[in-house]
Structure 1
Amino acid sequence: MTARAPLEGITVLDLSTVLMGPLATQILADHGARVIKVEPPSGDIVRWLGPSRSKGMGPLFLHLNRGKEGVALDLKDARAREAVMRLAADADVVVHNLRPKVMRRLGFGFDAVKAVNPRVVYCSLYGFGQDGPYADRPAYDDLIQGASGLPSLMQAAGTGEPRYVALNIADRLVGISAAYAITIGILARDRTGQAQEIDVPMFETLASQVLSEHMYGRSFEPPLGPAGYPRLLTSERRPFATADGHICVVCYTDAHWKRFLTEIGRDDLLSDPRFVNVGARLNAISEVYGFLADRLRAQPTAHWLEVFDRLDIPATPLNTVDSLIDDPQASAVGLIREVDHPTEGRIRTHRNPVLWGGQPTPLGLTPLLGQHTVEVLTAAGVSAQDIAAMQADGVAVDGRPATAKTDPTAA
């Protein structure tokens, strides 16, 4: 990490929940931004998913909200909305993942925030572009996967029936897209001196990635063939069974196949029309992968790993999530870290994969629900009496650990 974090001095007001927004703001926090996360008094729903040592500190929340300051306010209350607008007035970035009309109804639409902060970078993450017929539809990862065609691609690739990818892939792609869009927005704001309005819709984000590979023959008008990239859609594209497990191998280039076929004594296939070059293999991809699958079953994984390493053909064992946590590469580069959390004890997490000058970004701690409410609102000019009144009415949560509440100088 450089001596000064890249986003040091940038303040982000995070009004997002669940996954895509929190992932975007965590990336910003990892790179030095101050992120103030505002949650309802009941907490972000993700707090309550999975096992935990303390209430509201589940694993998904821990991994998506490190390094943030936690504020808990009920935005249905005018006092809370006024407090949040104070925070927005001083923020460089405001991020939310509600439908735009909901934000306008709450008084936090782009125009309202721009009125108090003419240099704000305002980023909206939501389901569908607002100029289309789906604008008001609710959106979750499963729905966006379906609308973007991923389950049908899984079926076409041989799963037997449409299936979702076993990862919140739409949320995560949107979160990453928002993080880079926000940093570009900061640059544009600094160059122009003007507020920047950024929209990152889920459907369009995932659909653009699907179409980039699978529009294929329909990239042309008239079409030069059907949609769908054949190499990715054959049912033979999968981890290959070996005599004692599975292996992942990409025998792709002409040089790869020449070395492999020579190694197994089948160099006669070098003149076979199905194998002569990458284009021919693509046209016969199911047969080519089927041939590879038949060969790999004959020997154990260790044998093939040695062969492919010697032949300089990309290959790796098939990990499970459990073996991934203990993977030698992940361990060697310090991807998996164990840290001590003041209330959760020893926890295992992963660092941001990006390096700066060869060094990783620091790991921040995940806040308790409302842990920084008093500190943040006080700094924004909200009086102690008003904070106490909101607490008494259930509008604000003071989530400081008990020791901090007894020490007026502690957060």
Structure 2
Amino acid sequence: MAKWPKLKWDVEPTGPLKGIKVVDMATVVLGPFATLQLADLGAEVIKIENSEGNTPGDLMRYAGDSPTKDLGPIFAALNRNKKAMNLNVKTDAGKAILAALLEDADVFIHNVRMAGMERLGFGYDEVKAINPDIIYVHCAGFGAGGEYGERQAYDDLIQAASGFASLSEMRDGGRPSYAPSLVADKVSGLFAAQAVMAAIIARQNGQGGQFVQMPMFEAFTWFHMVENLFGETFLPGNGKLAYTRSINPRRRPYPTADGYIAIVPYNDHQWRKFFELGGRPGVFDDPRFSTYQERSNNVGELYAIIEEVAATKATDEWVALLDEHNIPAMRYQRMDDVITDPHLAQVGFFQEREGEHMGKYRSMRHPVQYHGTPVATYADPPRPDADGDEIRAALGLGT
């Protein structure tokens, strides 16, 4: 059996997945977001990029400005802690290198159409023949067996097809819209990372390797329908889809005397105290708001009153007052405020690094803290084929 190449890292990985070996043929956002989770947690990830064409590699490399022209800001955020090599897997030499890596890998993950991978000779059955214990994760657009199974999938398409884009239409009667975030890609990436770790545990429990399909459409529909199936949960349904609170047009930061604030009183005591502090002590005695069920049924009217009350004080005054009385609230921040947020600074969330080719850049610390197996940023995002020679030499294979 070929040996996994001994990889040299800027700092030795220490996370809980240390020792797990991942061959990553995923591109753009969904797959790289999944393998970023694995890499941050200490897995050794080798990112395989296509070397065909005039613009080789993951196209996300070229989205946005960067000092190197091939380490775009989104790519940089998604691909730290990984090794990179360019490979043309349509050639015999490229197939041999990929097969050698798969012999000793724990995980193979990609978002290529399965029919294409089978034509290349790297469908699940072929890879299983190389390595029976491998965990083979296919990030698909749509689940096998459905009529959409062969369709392409991108974030916008999934937001539209899942009903998620209709929530804005339900909220305010306007035209449907996409969330201003690649939310379907990233949610699906988290599902894919979770699937890898669950399959690793199953293998450690003696159940062997397996094929895992992570369909983006189903994953994202599951994610957003948790609260939005709502009135169609119990049969026969009542037709009331979408959680009434989340699609109310008044669910938004409230204007204060000098800015905006988010206020979420939750239990009865907090509601009563909030209205007392705002000079409206009788509001909560109204039968429309006196119980959780009635507040849910009349949430629009309740939000309207909160908006009136919020406007009576300045933001800092409200934050201090609500904190004093343990009522959940946060000041509204714009994007540039978040970069200088004091809490994020105190926990070291944004980190300034300096890459060999990138110069100084801002990175985000992995948000989950593992005190026994601490995670870290141990390698800067790689340039195209940055580690190709090292990996080929370690495998004893040429280009």
Q: What is the TM-score of this pair, normalised by structure 2?
A: 0.93
The alpha-carbon deviation at position 253 of structure 1 amounts to 1.8
Cα separation, partners in 2 of 1:311 and 1:366, compared to 1, 3 Å: same
**Worse-superposed segment, 60-69 or 314-323:** 314-323
Match of 1:149 among 163, 167, 177: 163
Deviation at 1:25, TM superposition (A): 0.9
**Residues 6-25 of structure 1: per-residue CA shift (max 9 Å, x gap):** 11111100000001111111
Paired with 2:191 and 2:347, the residues of 1 have a C-alpha distance of 25
2:368 is matched with which residue? 354
Name the amino acid aligned to 2:49: E
d(CA) in 1 for partners of 2:325, 2:88: 61
For 2:373 and 2:46, the matched residues in 1 are separated by 25
* Alignment-derived partner of residue 392 in structure 1: none
> Deviation of residue 224 (structure 1)?
4.2
Q: Within 5 A, what are the aligned runs for 1:20-31?
A: 20-31=30-41
The separation in 2 between residues aligned to 1:254 and 1:169, in whole angstroms, is: 33
- In 2, distance between residues paired with 1:316 and 1:159? 28
Structure 2 CA distance for aligned equivalents of residues 130 and 153 of structure 1: 27
* 3-state SS, counterpart of residue 165 of structure 2: helix
State how far apart, in whole Å, the 1-side matches of 2:330 and 2:173 are.
Answer: 23
CA distance in 2, matches of 1:227, 1:160: 17
| Corresponding residue number in structure 2 for 1:407 | none
2:382 to 361, 364, 367: 367
SS of the residue 2:282 aligns to: helix
| Bigger mean CA deviation after superposition, 53-62 or 269-278 | 269-278
Match of 1:32 among 42, 47, 54: 42
- Deviation, 1:151, is 1.1
Query: Which structure's residues are more often helix, by fraction?
Result: 1
The alignment partner of 1:234 has SS state of coil
Q: Within 2, Cα distance between the matches of 1:72 and 1:46? A: 15
In structure 2, do the counterparts of structure 1 residues 3 and 211 end up closer, same or farther at CA, with 3 Å as the change threshold? closer
In structure 1, how many angstroms separate the alpha carbons of the residues matched to 2:170 and 2:260? 22
Letter in 2 for 1:16: A
Q: What aligned pairs does 1:318-397 form with structure 2 within 5 A after superposition?
A: 318-357=332-371, 360-363=374-377, 364-382=379-397, 386-387=398-399
Matches within 5 A, 1:1-400: 4-41=14-51, 42-158=56-172, 160-192=174-206, 194-224=208-238, 226-357=240-371, 360-363=374-377, 364-382=379-397, 386-387=398-399
Aligned mates of 1:233, 1:35 — CA distance in 2: 40
TM score, norm. by length of structure 1:
0.90
Which protein has greater RCO, CA pairs closer than 8 Å, 6+ apart? Answer: 2
Structure 1 residues 93, 113: CA separation in 2 closer, same or farther (over 3 Å shift)? same
* Structure 1 unaligned spans of 5+: 388-411
CA RMSD, 1 decimal: 1.6
Q: Deviations over 1:238-266 (max 9, x none)?
A: 11111221111112221111111222232
Deviations 1:137-185 (A, max 9, x none): 1000010011111111022122722111111111101111111110111
Per-residue CA distance 1:258-283 (angstroms, 9 max, x = gap): 11122223222232111101111110
**2:380 aligned partner, one-letter code:** L
1:225 deviation in Å?
5.0
Q: Give a deviation string over 1:68-110, Cα, whole Å, max 9, x none.
A: 1110012222321221111111111000011211211121111
CA deviations over 1:362-382 (Å, ceiling 9, x no partner): 112111100111111222231
Structure 1 segments, 4+ long, off by >6 Å, are none
Q: Percent of pairs identical after alignment?
A: 38
Structure 2 gaps of 5+ residues are: 1-11
Residue pair 2:16, 2:374 contacting (<8 A) in 1 also:
no
Separation (CA, whole Å) in 1 of partners of 2:123 and 2:15: 30
The number of residue pairs the alignment matches comes to: 383
User: CA deviation digits over 1:41-91, x for unaligned, max 9?
Assistant: 212100001110012011111110001111001222232122111111111
